[in-house]
Amino acid sequence: MSELEVDAVVFDVLGTLVDEPAGIHAGISALAPALDEFEVERLLSVWQTHVEREQRRMVDGLRPYATSDVLDLEAAQLVADAVQAGDARAVAALGLTGRRLPPWPDTVAGLTRLAERFPLLALSNASRPALLELNAYAGLRWHQALSAEDARTYKPDPAVYRLAVTVSGRPPERLLMVAAHAWDLRAAQSLGLRTAYVARPVGDPPAPSDTFDLYADDLPHLVEQLDRRRK
C-alpha cells in the first residue's frame, strides 16, 4: 500500500466518538427503574439487534428506507412492550435516547486537535436531526457533518461513503475514514478510502485478515501517528 497521505478525515460517530450503549442503557433504566442490570443489558441487546437488523434489511432492499428516528422509536416500543411499561409519551422519550450519548473522554479534545490539521467530517447512520442533537449534546463540532439520511440508506451501503467523497471534492484515497467498527472500515476501504481503526470498548474489532492503514488505542494515539507522518 502506498504511503499514507490524507487531505481530510472522516469520522464514524456512534460508538467511535460517543458511548452509544451507555446512553440507551440510561434510557431503559429511566423507563423501568426496578429492572436489574442483567435485564437492562438484555433489553439493550433487543434494541441494538432490532436497529442493526432493520438497517441491514434496508441496505439489502428488503424494507423501504426509514430514518434512524423511526428505527429508534420501534426499538423503544419493543423495550416498553417487554417490560409492560410506558405510555406513548414515555416510549417517545425513550426513542430519543439515542440523541443523548456521552462522548468518550478523549473525543472532544481529539477532534479539536484534528480540526486544526485537516478538514473534519462526520459520517453517521444517525438521521440528520438526530446527528445535530447528538453533536450538540456531546460537544462534537465539524467542518461538515454528513448523515446517511442524505443517501436514504445506511452504512455499509457504498452510497453513504460516496457522500463524503463527493462533499470532500477529493479522490477517495485522500480521505481517512476513522471508526471503531471493522465492518465500517471494510466498506470504506472497498471504495478506496484510507482507514484507521480506533479501539473502543463497544466496537467491532479487526479480524486478522483486515489490513487497515492505522490502528490506534484512542484519539491521542491516532493524532500522534498522523503527526509523525506529516513531518
Site for a second copy, rule CB under 8 A: 8, 115-116, 118-121, 128-129, 131-133, 135-136, 139-145, 150, 166-169
What distance in Å separates the CA atoms of residue 122 and residue 145, rounded to the nearest whole number?
4
Q: Residue 222 is placed in which grid cell?
A: 491516532
Residue 31 CB, nearest distance to a second copy (Å)?
22
Contacts of 64 (CB under 8 A, 6+ apart): 58
Based on CB atoms, which residue is closest to a second copy, 125 or 135? Answer: 135
Based on CB atoms, which residue is closest to a second copy, 42 or 143? Answer: 143
User: Identity (one letter) of the amino acid at 102?
Assistant: P
Contacts of 45 (CB under 8 A, 6+ apart): none
Residue 201 CB, nearest distance to a second copy (Å)?
25
Based on CB atoms, which residue is closest to a second copy, 10 or 43? Answer: 10
Handedness of CA 97, 51, 16, 166 (dihedral sign): negative
Residue 20 CB, nearest distance to a second copy (Å)?
18
Residue 99 CB, nearest distance to a second copy (Å)?
10
CB 40 within 8 A of CB 28: yes
Based on CB atoms, which residue is closest to a second copy, 173 or 204? Answer: 173
